[in-house]
């Protein structure tokens, strides 16, 4: 999927209770938002995320709309036994790491399966997407930023009008949110010719500045998967 276009954003710093906090301090705090109970209920304020709407070429809009349109269930397909076993080992490892944030096994499984599916579908590293979700929403399904970005990957409602069906309420649906987020991130990576640092800046609205990409890359380390026997968990 090759997409072109441009988007830039205003960095999101002013959220309830964050006045006077530096951007670096705000981002650093995202990685340590605690207690599973803090993510229950809706909506909840988030301190990151949000893209500004800019014109897209018709070809870009069509490509993005097509990428969003197919809402097949997120069922991973495997062509070899080893690839399936690799996925199951990954699922077990990530489930253990996510347990504190999502205590219920079925909720964790469905979330991780969907992240895997949508990341692979968009050609993204699963650990990068997990790191971005950690920084953007601390894995809160109903997180809302002060500029209205919604859900796990903090997608701005205008995207549902530009490339979706115009219903921003669907951004609180897990698969819809993860699909939009992954497609948008893929779009920014293509826009930046594969430069993840710059693409992450576009996603957050701080293009060319290091705190946000550094925060995502740091969080990504929590979700790397090493299958070597005896390897320590991240």
pLDDT per residue of the chain (234 residues) written in tens, 0 to 9: 433 333 333 332 223 333 333 444 444 444 333 333 333 344 455 555 556 566 677 777 787 787 777 666 688 888 999 999 999 999 999 999 999 999 999 999 999 999 999 999 999 999 999 999 999 999 999 999 888 899 999 998 989 988 888 899 999 999 999 999 999 999 999 999 999 999 999 998 888 888 999 999 999 999 999 876 544 443
CA–CA distance, 166 with 160 (Å, rounded to integer): 5
Between the CA of residue 123 and those of 2, 6, 33, 183, 218, what are the distances in Å? 11, 20, 29, 9, 21
DSSP code, position 166: S
CA–CA distance, 144 with 148 (Å, rounded to integer): 6
CA neighbours closer than 13 Å in the CB half-sphere of residue 208:
3
Residue 104: both structure tokens together: 């219920």
CATH dotted code for 42-50+75-223: 1.10.530
Residue 95: both structure tokens together: 């489930």
Q: Judge contact between 153 and 136, C-beta under 8 A.
A: yes
CA–CA distance, 154 with 105 (Å, rounded to integer): 24
DSSP code, position 145: E
What is the H or E stretch that residue 46 is in? strand 44-46
Bridge partners, 144 (sequence order): 45, 150
Residue 6: both structure tokens together: 């441009």
Q: Judge contact between 219 and 231, C-beta under 8 A.
A: no
CA–CA distance, 163 with 110 (Å, rounded to integer): 25
DSSP code, position 118: H
DSSP code, position 223: G
Q: What is the structure's pLDDT at 165?
A: 87
């Amino acid at each position: 999927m090759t997409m072109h276009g441009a988007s830039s954003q205003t960095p999101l710093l002013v959220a309830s209770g964050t006045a006077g906090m530096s951007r670096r301090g705000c981002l650093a705090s995202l990685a340590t938002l605690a207690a599973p109970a803090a993510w229950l209920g809706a909506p909840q304020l988030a301190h990151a995320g949000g893209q500004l709407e800019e014109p897209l070429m018709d070809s870009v809009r069509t490509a993005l709309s097509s990428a969003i349109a197919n809402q097949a269930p997120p069922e991973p397909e495997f062509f070899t036994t080893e690839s399936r076993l690799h996925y199951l080992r990954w699922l077990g490892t990530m489930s253990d790491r996510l347990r504190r944030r999502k205590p219920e096994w079925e909720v964790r499984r469905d979330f991780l399966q969907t992240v895997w599916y949508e990341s692979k579908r968009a050609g993204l590293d699963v650990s990068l997407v997990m790191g971005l979700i950690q920084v953007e929403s601390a894995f809160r399904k109903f997180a809302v930023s002060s500029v209205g970005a919604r859900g796990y990957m903090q997608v701005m409602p205008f995207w549902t009008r530009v490339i979706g069906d115009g219903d921003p309420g669907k951004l609180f649906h897990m698969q819809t949110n993860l699909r939009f987020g992954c497609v948008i991130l893929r779009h920014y990576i293509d826009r930046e010719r594969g430069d993840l640092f710059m693409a992450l800046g576009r996603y957050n609205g701080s293009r060319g500045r290091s705190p946000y990409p550094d925060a995502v890359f740091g969080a990504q380390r929590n979700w790397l998967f090493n299958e070597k026997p005896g390897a320590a968990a991240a």
